[in-house]
A and B are shown apart, each in its own frame.
Chain A
Amino acid sequence: MTAPHPDTWLRVLPQGLYCEPGDFFIDPLRSVAHAVITHGHSDHARPGHGSVLATEATLAIMRVRMGEGRAGETQQALDYHTPLTHQGVDITLVPAGHVLGSAQIVLDWQGSRAVVSGDYKRQRDPTCAPFEPVTCDVFVTEATFGFPVFRHPDPAHEIAKLLKSLTIFPDRTHIVGAYSLGKAQRVIALLREAGWERPIFIHGALTALCALYEAHGVPLGPLLPATGASKDDLKGAIVIAPPAAAADRWSRRMNDPLIARASGWMRVRQRAKMAGVELPLVISDHADWDDLLRTVEETRAPEVWVTHGAEEALIHALSLRQIRGRALSLIGYEDEETSSEEEAEA
């Protein structure tokens, strides 16, 4: 008996990607009875589900971000690499390397395997477990940076730019706009690796998540609240804040602030200009073009489904490699770096 093709048991419904035999959704876009969540970003982890299955870290992030009551009526934590059988479907969580707790959802049913990777990256990240490729029949991928112009440089190089800037402008407060879950902690950890030992000032929106990272064994070094710090304290200091806060009036009371932004979009000048930043830092938590293609190759999947992003270019490139690509065109996922404007205003 040949194994059933994943498109017979994994479907796109208005609520999101649905595993029929298991009767659950993966990263559903609206509230459902049973949800499996890849990671804690708000476009993937939405409030109000019945039961939620995810890594312990993702569940903890959801509770911090939405409050105890809204992160699912019941929550079940599942460790990486520990299969759980649910109505005949084996569910295994494998690190996605995106943010703390992020997981690819590996689904095995009747000898057929699909991997829903959620958001992922291949660059080294000291704040989360690295991505592991899993061989499968269908690989479900994002394509946030699905154009060949997106090649993320070594993040250490970008951090060096920030530190160099501090030597040229030793009095200016360097405010780095970084998404509050994942990017902020990664930038802090990279700064520590680069030898920046002074306290780093953080916006109030980051406090709880930084504490959560620390509690999960990710050391971030001395952090101080930016609110309430004097102009003198902030002279020549590094402040991490959500992008919208960094760019807006919140930053105005700092000492001659220099606004930086850590995002993969900073690669394209026009995008960086539009963001109004003085120091663009190309640091992304998403796979770049080369890593998207490399990852697909490593999964050895003959067929790839693209959830969101620039699917057209990726599918074209896959076709040149004799890999079948399919756009799921799921509306509602957007990368956290473009949606951050809303986040910080709320």
Chain B
Amino acid sequence: MTPFADLLERLVFTPGRLAKLALLRDYFTHTPDPDRGYALAAIAGDLSFTAAKPAMIRQIATDRVDPTLFAWSYDYVGDLAETVALIWPGSREGQAPRLSEVVAILSETPKSDLPAVLAGWMDVCDASARLALLKLITGGLRVGASARLAKIALGEMAGVAADDIEEVWHGLAPPYGPLFDWLSGRAAKPDAAGAPVFRPTMLAHPLEEADAAALDWAGYRAEWKWDGIRVQLVATAQGRRLYTRTAEDISHGFPEILAAMDFHGVLDGELLVMRDGEVAPFGDLQQRLNRKSPGPKMLKDFPAGVRLYDILFDGDDDLRGLTFDDRRVRLEDWYARHQPPRMDLSALIPFAGQEDLAALRFGARAASIEGLMLKRGDSPYLAGRPKGPWWKWKRAPLTIDAVLMYAQRGHGRRSSIYSDYTFGLWRKDGMLVPVGKAYSGITDQELAFIDRWVRGHTIARFGPVREVEKSLVLEIAFDAAQTSNRHKSGVALRFPRISRIRTDKPAEEADKLDSLIARIPASGVAKGETLEEEG
């Protein structure tokens, strides 16, 4: 339990991705089986207990501590499990249980015996291990690392690609003995034959001007880049799965898609909310993504569909070695044969040269279109992000001139710099209202300039946040604007980033909120936060 607890503790406070990877590698390298397998399960969200309720852990604590002192302490700490972990009086000499021991005993302990078992463990654990234990058994464990990150760390440790781990992952269960046997060289790669496992996806690079100039346009095929999320549909005799491009299994959230997958194969496409073949704004899809299991109303109001653009397997036939053009023929043939409901084909856009596509890209203003995809006709389906075969050519962003309102210190490398900015636009009544937050887009020099500016123009402080004089104008680029009932302004921006510092512009000449609202497409309510960009 202790090494696992120490790992969790460090992950909580470690913002950097590379640093998290180093911590995970160190843990997986030095922790024996099957403990590390259960730790991996905890990170992947495959290990959860709900045996203990909060009332129970409060009870075992107040059995030992004066209730008044407990109440004040809880008030001070603010988290029940943490309060119990810290307040637990003096520990007994002894060895903290191993994670695998905890898992084994929890699975066979009747509920009535749990308080005594738990208290016995708590006595021999240190505060970090007590906290990890309490979070684990109440189902409240939050790990500061994703399953994907853990797989990358495992891959680095064993010298295999994380994507190779993904290929076998969904055929395995905690504590993943065959996986660790393979990674330690004790056994061959586990055979996922027949299981509906994830296949590593092929990703695109953004097309910059220099790339565009050098491109052999005739060798490429073009498709619209739809503003949904990239998914992989896997159906075999053993089951059906819907995965994100990072191998997250989102099958449960989209039962109607699963129901439509009456085939045997692996397909690649864009998950969208579609009404009568019309693609709804991303915010509509976000509503669905926020729900683990949607109700009938949700299914009716936000109907999901998939726009297919590639085929990886037709039955057991692995097509990934074929060229894009050949796969496209197979995809069209497959589609004609199956005609699966809720799915259509991503159309190829005919074009004669770069000018044609540039015009199309410029003209595309529908919120559901992010730009164009360019795929080389003779390229096989390659895992990862090889440079050259696939490009994403996003349409030029929209911009607004907004006023900096608040600045917050960043994380990691930027923890001493004010690098997270809240900006606002003018409302009709002359009030400045925040419309979004941005923390990227500018150079280190520009960052240093804003940091200095913030320190010199602070008018109030709230913890890590500084409110500044409303006088610095920032040009903000964004991909789309949507109405939002979560923001005071009623507007949410998709992918906002700072494109320029407008020291030349007086704050009162910054944009009006109304002019932003005017750019919102007619339908769609954006409620949640935007997702990481797919593709």
Residues of A within 8 A of B (CB): 147-151, 153, 157, 161, 165, 167-169, 247-249, 251-252, 256, 258-259, 267-270, 272-274, 276-280, 290, 310, 312-313, 316-317, 320
Q: Which of B65-111 contact A (CB under 8 A)?
A: 65-66, 68-70, 72-73, 76-79, 82-83, 86-87, 89-90
Q: Are A320 and B66 in contact (CB under 8 A)?
A: yes
In order of increasing CB-CB distance, the 6 nearest A-B pairs are: A149-B86, A149-B73, A168-B26, A248-B416, A148-B87, A249-B416
Q: Are B127 and A267 in contact (CB under 8 A)?
A: yes
User: 9 new A-B pairs (CB below 8 Å) besides A268-B77, A272-B13, A316-B66?
Assistant: A149-B77, A157-B126, A248-B416, A249-B417, A252-B416, A256-B413, A268-B82, A316-B68, A320-B66
Bound Cα distance from A310 to B66, whole angstroms:
16
Q: Are B127 and A153 in contact (CB under 8 A)?
A: yes
Q: Are B416 and A247 in contact (CB under 8 A)?
A: yes
Interface stretch of the complex, out of B15-23, B181-189, B516-524: B15-23
Bound Cα distance from A150 to B76, whole angstroms:
11
Q: Which of A248, A269, A312, A316 has the most CB of B within 10 A?
A: A269
Distance to closest chain B CB from A281 (angstroms): 11
Q: Are A153 and B126 in contact (CB under 8 A)?
A: yes
Identify A251's interface contact among B77, B79, B416, CB under 8 A: B416
Q: Are B69 and A247 in contact (CB under 8 A)?
A: no
Contacts of B73 in A (CB 8 A): 147-149, 313
Identify B79's interface contact among A151, A269, A310, CB under 8 A: A269
Bound Cα distance from A19 to B83, whole angstroms:
40
Contacts of A317 in B (CB 8 A): 66, 69
Q: Are A259 and B415 in contact (CB under 8 A)?
A: yes
Bound Cα distance from A161 to B13, whole angstroms:
14
Chain B interface, number of residues (Cβ within 8 angstroms)? 36
Cβ of B459 within 8 Å of any chain A Cβ, yes or no, is no
Identify B69's interface contact among A252, A269, A313, CB under 8 A: A313
Identify A313's interface contact among B13, B26, B72, B417, CB under 8 A: B72
Distance to closest chain B CB from A290 (angstroms): 7
Beta-carbon contacts of B439-465 to A below 8 Å, as 1s and 0s? 000000000000000000000000110
Nearest-CB residue, chain A, relative to B27? A168
Bound Cα distance from A294 to B119, whole angstroms:
24
Contacts of A165 in B (CB 8 A): 10
Identify B23's interface contact among A168, A248, A276, CB under 8 A: A168
Q: Are B13 and A279 in contact (CB under 8 A)?
A: yes
Bound Cα distance from A99 to B145, whole angstroms:
40
Bound Cα distance from A248 to B13, whole angstroms:
17
A-B contact pairs, 14 of them (CB 8 A): A147-B69, A149-B87, A165-B10, A168-B22, A247-B416, A268-B82, A269-B12, A269-B82, A273-B13, A278-B14, A278-B19, A279-B10, A280-B13, A316-B66
Contacts of A168 in B (CB 8 A): 22-23, 26
Identify A148's interface contact among B10, B15, B69, B464, CB under 8 A: B69
Q: Are B464 and A276 in contact (CB under 8 A)?
A: yes
Bound Cα distance from A252 to B87, whole angstroms:
37
Contacts of B26 in A (CB 8 A): 167-168
Nearest-CB residue, chain A, relative to B410? A276
Distance to closest chain A CB from B186 (angstroms): 25
Contacts of B127 in A (CB 8 A): 151, 153, 267
Cβ of B409 within 8 Å of any chain A Cβ, yes or no, is yes
Q: Are A147 and B19 in contact (CB under 8 A)?
A: no
Q: Are A277 and B13 in contact (CB under 8 A)?
A: yes
Distance to closest chain B CB from A143 (angstroms): 13
Q: Which of A149, A259, A280, A313 has the most CB of B within 10 A?
A: A149
Q: Are B76 and A147 in contact (CB under 8 A)?
A: yes
Q: Which of B10, B70, B90, B409 has the most CB of A within 10 A?
A: B10
Bound Cα distance from A44 to B415, whole angstroms:
32
Contacts of A252 in B (CB 8 A): 416-417
Bound Cα distance from A151 to B83, whole angstroms:
12
Beta-carbon contacts of B195-216 to A below 8 Å, as 1s and 0s? 0000000000000000000000
